[in-house]
Amino acid sequence: MSKIAIIIGSTRPGRKGKAVAHWVYDIAKQRSDAEFKIVDIADYDLPLLDEPMGAASGQYTKQHTKAWSKEIDMFDGFIFVTPEYNHALSAALKNALDFLYKEWNNKAAGFVGYGAAGATTAVENLRMIMAELQVADVQAQVRLSLFTDFENFSELNPAAFQEKSVHAMIDQIIAWSDALKTLRDTEGKD
């Protein structure tokens, strides 16, 4: 059974991402076709990238990187919950992605964006990053608008159709995670 991380992509005080991630998790845990876990990048207290070697080397020297690596390595797929800051993903999420490389490879990812326009541009940024990290990003995504899915721009209250969007995204993530398992299983066996 695939293990899917729901990654909170913001560390900002007062962030909406935590509520969004828990909403996604509540929908996901109704399913029996995968295991889900919320992963909060704030819990890892990652500084600006401070490893002396590039992530592709896998030669981590810092304890925070080793802990982050261990956490991410155990998953088969990811749901990134991302805000949009200035037409891009948060610096904290970009930094967390850059710390690792092989731990992301040959896995699947989907996106739940929230912002004025559903974080569309942030998700497009993430899709380019996923390609470089060898992550298969799925087509279905969830776009939460601050205007229609939050009360007073602060309290999450998604439109009813959004739950169907979450399930469609998860269906694709599980299918791709399962399909990529063969690649993950043969890595390093050459």
The domain made up of 2-186 has a fold known as Rossmann fold (3.40.50)
CB neighbour list of residue 116: distance below 8 Å, 6 or more residues apart? 84, 145, 146, 147
For residue 187, CA distances in Å to 23, 78, 180, 181, 184 come to 34, 19, 11, 10, 5
How many Cβ atoms sit within 10 Å of the Cβ of residue 54? 11
How far is the C-alpha of 61 from the C-alpha of 130, rounded, in Å?
24
For residue 12, CA distances in Å to 42, 79, 84, 90, 187 come to 9, 19, 12, 9, 36
How far is the C-alpha of 13 from the C-alpha of 107, rounded, in Å?
30
pLDDT of res. 186: 85
The string of pLDDT tens digits covering residues 30-57 is 999 999 999 999 999 999 999 999 999 9
How far is the C-alpha of 99 from the C-alpha of 89, rounded, in Å?
16
Tell me the sheet residues that pair with 122.
none
pLDDT of res. 187: 73
How far is the C-alpha of 34 from the C-alpha of 134, rounded, in Å?
21
pLDDT of res. 56: 96
pLDDT of res. 188: 56
Angle 14-15-18 from CA coordinates, rounded to 5°: 120
**For residue 165, which of 102, 87, 110 has the smallest C-alpha distance?**
110
| Mean pLDDT estimate for the chain | 96
Domain-wise residue ranges, the chain:
2-186
Q: Is 119 left (phi over 0), alpha (psi -120 to 50) or beta?
A: left
Quick check: 189 pLDDT over 80? no
The string of pLDDT tens digits covering residues 84-128 is 999 999 999 999 999 999 999 999 999 999 999 999 999 999 999
How many Cβ atoms sit within 10 Å of the Cβ of residue 80? 28
- Residue 129 half-sphere exposure, CB side, CA atoms within 13 Å? 24
